[in-house]
Every structure is written in structure tokens, then in C-alpha cells.
Structure 1
């Protein structure tokens, strides 16, 4: 990836997801499931946390590459920015 297409790469990651591609019409299955069941089962809560962590990886990798290219300021850790973006996205979907 070149420096400027980094944002496009992150958008492509989002568009390839079920919610981003508009294949779903009501919320996010994992987000909804997390809200409704995570309190009931520690095992389930751990698995949902693992899924969320897996979702962060492509965003963090894209952000890190953009920071190395100088496209995105490196003030924040890529993992922190990825978590913020994904949590914000989930919040918007579940709102």
C-alpha cells in the first residue's frame, strides 16, 4: 500500500465486514450478542472479547502502516486508535 491509500485500505476493511457491506440490516450480531449475553457467561464473554480483538488486528495494521508512511500522526498507538475506531463503530451500530 502507498501512503495516501491507507485510509482507503481501512475503508476496504470496513466494507468487507458484514455491516460495512450492508449485508445486514439490524445492528451487529457480535455486538448485540455481547450486550445481551456477556453478563451471563464468563466463557462467552471471553470468546466475544477474543472476536473483538481479532477485529482490531487489520485496523491496527493499517493504522501502523499509515503512521510509518507519515500519513497519520504517530501520537497514539495503532492498537489504541484501532480500538477507539472499532468501539465507536460498534457504538454507532448499536445505538
Structure 2
């Protein structure tokens, strides 16, 4: 069980919806495809109520931010961090 699954189990106000753009396995139990307004509305009945947390590449964060605001989320309730790249550290 992941930390996010534990959070969702312990807190009824926290929802975790895993999404993979293209699942390579039938074992994947989450959503498939892009995160769009249709997927958002499937899980959130009133888009204006939650606090949203966004992170990953800047382009994705900005696209998600814009989509949430267009769908009725309050911009003050969106927390975002942008990562322009990832670095790997290899210790041998």
C-alpha cells in the first residue's frame, strides 16, 4: 500500500486517484488517459471545494492549473510546484 493510499484510508477528506496515461498491464487498477475535465468531474462533484496540489514538469502544472480554474476551482486553493528537470545520483 502506498503512502497516498494510506492517507485516503485514514482521512475521508483525502482522495487519491492514480492515473497513468497508458497502462502497459492489465493489472493496473487506476485510471487510464489524460487528466481532463471529464475525469475531474467523475471524482469531484463540486470542483470549487477541494484544495488541489500539483507537482511535476512546469508545462503539466500550468495546464492542470488552467483546467482546474476553467472548471470552477478557486485559484487560491491550488498549490503548485514546478520541476523543470530531474537529476539522478549514481553512487558506486
TM-score (norm 1): 0.26
TM-score (norm 2): 0.27
Q: Larger RCO: Structure 1 or Structure 2 (Cα < 8 Å, ≥ 6 residues apart)? A: 1
